[in-house]
Chain A
Amino acid sequence: MIHAAERADFDLIASWVKPGERVLDLGCGDGSLLKRLIEERGAYGYGIEREEAGVLAAIAQGINVIQGDLEQGLAGFDDGTFNHVVLSRTLQTVRHTERLLTEMLRVGREAVVSFPNFAYWKNRMAVMSGRMPVSEDLPYEWFETPNLRFFTLLDFESLCAKMRLVIRERQVLDESGHLIIEEPNFLGSLAVYRLGR
């Protein structure tokens, strides 16, 4: 499912990738982002996808998709193979959060991570009114969500500090995909980070 805001984080990620760079897209789905990076940015890339439907769709698009489960880590991928390792809207579904972030910066020189901000004001409102939030960037009901982790920009940045990951750049978007500058942890629905060592 691709909607306006998702394309907005794709726009950001695409702007960070230079021609000829090698990208690994974790949880690549049908390979749409990779296809775009290849066609528009001249990148070269691979995707990892767990679900059969995603793998099939990616193969049909000619994407270098590798079926696998991110929870198993990235064993077998050599250190420093990629310029960017992308984890788009997937970190909140992963159980082994720290291990995956570590693995991303082992196989890649830069980790690009986007995730829904649980502290977005509409989410806060939903909780204040007694309900779990359902929004553009958190589109699931509580009983069907693949999301395991609910966290905010501040939570994520404190994890980065603890893990000694360097935040090279942060961009925050609202539900319509507009960039948010002021009060990002309140007004931002989706955060996109570039991380390094």
Chain B
Amino acid sequence: MMSVGLVLPQQAHFSSPLVLKSGALLPSFDLLYETYGTLNAAKSNAILVCHALSGHHHVAGYYADQNDNIGWWDNIIGPGRPLDTDCFFIVGVNNLGGCHGSTGPASINPATGRHWGADFPVVTVEDWVETQSRLADVLGIDAWAAVIGGSLGGMQALQWTLSFPERVRHSLVIAASAKLSAENIAFNEIARQAILSDPDFHGGNYYAHDVRPLNGLRLARMLGHITYLSDEQMAEKFGRRQRPGAGSYSFDVEFEIESYLRYQGDKFAGLFDANTYLRMTRALDYFDPALAYDGQLAAALAPARASFLVIAFSTDWRFAPFRSREIVHALVHNGQPVAYAESNCAHGHDSFLMEDAYYHAVVAAYLQRITL
């Protein structure tokens, strides 16, 4: 099993206007994407990988000038890996509103010549699926063999089957949920408050002030990071281990977990855009396909024509297995095809990014059944 190796990001420009779910209008936009493997003549072997909150189009492989910049889901994509590039043509895309090259709050608004900033609209999972469908048009892909994603990416994999039932044959919904709980939204709200209350936020127009709300973004990530891990795994990895010089009755870094969270927060704040973070968390909050059906998820999922693979992780408390089972039961209610697997991987919500043998074997076995 190998990595896909050297990869190159590509850009697609979309010049026809896009009306977002909010009613806002984007006159044009760009999407950055990467592809791995070869699209077959029938164009029937394409898999779309949807990213989660902090992801992007660089899903697998590495760049010529950055050997250590390895894609965020490299361990599942490549020759002989579950998303086998010897069989499939795999597409990764940076979502609209992102901060890795697709049009987002840090992009220049053509109407003003300045950064979009606060004026960049709130985007939704439905909007992302719409923009991804336009990318599929550009690539000549009528129907995806599969759409796959973890967490927020799993919500997109689900939404694809509802927005474009005829354009997705299989949907792999991993470590996801059909909607956020009050607790999930509460965590998102604290993350947003950390950013919004940072004096460097300037109402979202910090680019003009040549500053960034680094402290708020750092706090948001520290908080988020806790929800991605499991108690068990944190205990194993950090326990109550202390740093040298601990026990000084101060508020400096004394415990290893504090050091780890600060490191993760700093690293993330240096790379990510706060306005994008706000919008990604809002997209999560708003996602609720059953809302228009009186809360009846089965009714909401009825239009789907895809086969589903739903995967959950027993140590995930952010989107615990019962949230995945709600999706499964709604599909069973409708008589729609679905398989469901639950892995014991110890890494909490982050398990979907890990190389867990059972989890990867399930994905591989499922994808091998797909007729190309």
Tell me whether A60 and B339 are in contact (CB under 8 A): no
Report how far A78 CA is from B299 CA in the complex, Å. Answer: 14
Q: Answer yes or no: A139 CB below 8 A from chain B CBs.
A: no
Tell me whether A52 and B335 are in contact (CB under 8 A): no
- Known contacts A56-B362, A76-B329: A62-B340 contact under CB 8 Å: no
Q: Answer yes or no: B361 CB below 8 A from chain A CBs.
A: yes
Tell me whether A81 and B358 are in contact (CB under 8 A): no
Tell me whether A77 and B329 are in contact (CB under 8 A): yes
Cβ contacts under 8 Å, A76 to chain B = 325-326, 328-329
Report how far A62 CA is from B267 CA in the complex, Å. Answer: 43
Complex interface residues of chain B between 210 and 250 (CB less than 8 A to chain A): none
Tell me whether A66 and B328 are in contact (CB under 8 A): yes
- Known contacts A66-B339, A67-B341: A56-B365 contact under CB 8 Å: yes
Question: Could you say which of B325, B362, B369 contacts A55, with CB atoms under 8 Å apart?
Answer: B362
- Known contacts A56-B361, A59-B366: A67-B342 contact under CB 8 Å: yes
- Known contacts A56-B365, A59-B366: A81-B333 contact under CB 8 Å: yes
Q: Closest CB-CB distance, B358 to chain A, in whole Å? A: 5
Chain B's closest residue to A31 (CB) is: B339
- Known contacts A52-B358, A55-B362: A60-B368 contact under CB 8 Å: yes
Tell me whether A77 and B340 are in contact (CB under 8 A): no
Q: Answer yes or no: A44 CB below 8 A from chain B CBs.
A: yes
Report how far A52 CA is from B311 CA in the complex, Å. Answer: 13
Cβ contacts under 8 Å, B358 to chain A = 52, 56
Chain A's closest residue to B368 (CB) is: A60
Tell me whether A22 and B333 are in contact (CB under 8 A): no
A: number of interface residues (CB 8 Å): 20
Q: From DSSP, what is the main secondary structure of chain B's interface residues?
A: helix
Q: Beta-carbon contacts of B349-366 to A below 8 Å, as 1s and 0s?
A: 000000000100110011
Q: Tell me the total A-B contact number using a CB cutoff of 8 A.
A: 52
Cβ contacts under 8 Å, A64 to chain B = 332, 337-339
Tell me whether A46 and B332 are in contact (CB under 8 A): yes
Q: From DSSP, what is the main secondary structure of chain A's interface residues?
A: mixed
Chain A's closest residue to B366 (CB) is: A59
Cβ contacts under 8 Å, A66 to chain B = 328, 332, 338-340
Report how far A55 CA is from B358 CA in the complex, Å. Answer: 10
Cβ contacts under 8 Å, B365 to chain A = 56, 59-60
Q: Answer yes or no: A58 CB below 8 A from chain B CBs.
A: yes
Chain B's closest residue to A78 (CB) is: B333
Tell me whether B332 and A59 are in contact (CB under 8 A): no
Q: Closest CB-CB distance, A39 to chain B, in whole Å? A: 15
Tell me whether A67 and B340 are in contact (CB under 8 A): yes
Cβ contacts under 8 Å, B326 to chain A = 76
Cβ contacts under 8 Å, A56 to chain B = 358, 361-362, 365
Report how far A134 CA is from B234 CA in the complex, Å. Answer: 47
Report how far A25 CA is from B338 CA in the complex, Å. Answer: 14
Cβ contacts under 8 Å, B369 to chain A = 59-60, 62
Report how far A14 CA is from B59 CA in the complex, Å. Answer: 46
Q: Answer yes or no: A65 CB below 8 A from chain B CBs.
A: yes
Q: Closest CB-CB distance, A65 to chain B, in whole Å? A: 5
Tell me whether A59 and B335 are in contact (CB under 8 A): no
Report how far A76 CA is from B337 CA in the complex, Å. Answer: 16
Q: Closest CB-CB distance, A71 to chain B, in whole Å? A: 15
Q: Answer yes or no: A119 CB below 8 A from chain B CBs.
A: no
Tell me whether A65 and B340 are in contact (CB under 8 A): yes
Q: Beta-carbon contacts of B24-55 to A below 8 Å, as 1s and 0s?
A: 00000000000000000000000000000000
Tell me whether A77 and B362 are in contact (CB under 8 A): no
Report how far A76 CA is from B331 CA in the complex, Å. Answer: 11
The 26 sampled A-B contact pairs (Cβ below 8 Å) are A22-B335, A44-B335, A46-B332, A46-B338, A55-B341, A56-B361, A56-B365, A58-B339, A59-B309, A59-B365, A59-B366, A60-B365, A62-B369, A63-B339, A64-B337, A64-B338, A66-B328, A66-B332, A67-B340, A68-B340, A76-B326, A76-B328, A76-B329, A78-B333, A81-B332, A81-B333
Query: Interface of B with A (CB < 8 Å)?
Result: 309, 325-326, 328-329, 332-333, 335, 337-342, 358, 361-362, 365-366, 368-369
The 6 closest A-B pairs by CB, nearest first: A76-B329, A60-B365, A66-B340, A59-B365, A67-B342, A67-B341
**Besides A59-B309, A76-B325, 5 other A-B contacts (C-beta < 8 A):** A56-B361, A59-B362, A60-B365, A66-B340, A68-B342
